[in-house]
Structure 1
Amino acid sequence: MTADTIAAPRSPRTPARKSGPNLEKWGWIYMRVSGVALIILIFGHLFVNLMLGEGISGIDFAFVAGKFASPFWQWWDVLMLWLALIHGANGMRTIVNDYVTHETTRRVLVWALWLSAGFLIVLGTLVVFTFDPCLGIESSSTDWLIETCAAL
């Protein structure tokens, strides 16, 4: 070998990319876009809940019931829930792929991540859209909620 020649690197040969969509690229793009969207959604959520009105002392069942009565806030919270859970599960998937070397263990952990994220997404979405503040209200009380539920 002469002084002008550079030795070949010792890195292993990378396998050829499979045909089809590049899911890692789309996962990377999703993490960036959802991160920016989550910053907007979370700070909007915190601003409305803590800065407007009575602050933290004003957050009670009535506040949540009033917020979930509006389709705008329902969709705001569901979008925040979906983006956060998928963002977190994708980040955990990346960590599992980086540190778990056994293929079967990695596959089981990634499946467990996506199943738990999917379960929480379904459960959270059901809670937001089926929230009923009048469920289980007794008619003997003179609370504001009783009056509101009686009007419905």
Structure 2
Amino acid sequence: MTAVDNPRAPYVRQKATRSNYELYSWMFMRASGVLLLVLIFGHLFVNLMTGEGVHSIDFAFVAGKWAGPFWKVWDLLMLWLAMIHGTNGVRTIINDYASKDGTRLVLKALLYLAFTIVVVLGTLVIFTFDPCPPGATQDLLPSFCPAV
């Protein structure tokens, strides 16, 4: 017969740690979740509720938004916070459900690789986006692009 610990006994930590990483991770998830709500609903409102709604979203719409720094920073914050928030959540799930150390290592390596690829490519797109690409037809370009 196996003895079961008293459920009302205080929790005793098995391994002493000197890091508060999990605490800071938990606090980040709460703060980034609130900030992401503001960023995402602001993004949806501007893209879907103003103007003609979803029918007005095209290359010229995005080029007009990204012509100034405000929307670039907005979208960059949204990308980075969403990716860090999601990666942290999946990391927690991997820690909870992957029982073997090797499996946990491989899953986390794949997760961090995917995070890095998406963040680097997304950041490059935001900062290297050219609203007036050469060779594009004038009817697809925003009004501030010079005529070719």
Gaps of 5+ in 2: none
Matched length: 143
Q: 1:33-67: per-residue Cα shift (whole Å, max 9, x none)? A: 00000000000000011111111101111000101
Cα distance in 1 for residues equivalent to 2:54 and 2:143:
25
> What does 1:1-150 align with in structure 2 at a 5 Å threshold?
9=6, 14-19=13-18, 21-138=19-136, 141-143=137-139, 145=141, 148-150=144-146
Q: TM-score, normalised by structure 2?
A: 0.85
Conserved 8 A contact 2:59-2:140: no
Conserved 8 A contact 1:134-1:145: yes
Q: 1:125-152: per-residue Cα shift (whole Å, max 9, x none)? A: 11011101333425xx553639744369
Structure 1 runs of 4+ off > 6 angstroms? Answer: 10-13
Cα distance in 1 for residues equivalent to 2:76 and 2:53:
22
Comparing 80-89 with 127-136, which one deviates more in the overlay?
A: 127-136
Q: Find the residue that maps to 1:18 and give its secondary structure.
A: coil
Cα distance in 1 for residues equivalent to 2:31 and 2:56:
32
Conserved 8 A contact 1:38-1:83: yes
- Provide the aligned C-alpha RMSD in A: 2.6
Cα distance in 2 for residues equivalent to 1:142 and 1:93:
46
Identity of aligned residues (%): 54
Q: TM-score, normalised by structure 1?
A: 0.83
Indicate how the Cα distance of structure 1 residues 98 and 144 shifts in structure 2: closer, same or farther if over 3 A, else same.
closer
Q: 1:81-106: per-residue Cα shift (whole Å, max 9, x none)? A: 00001111111111111111000110
Structure with bigger gyration radius: 1
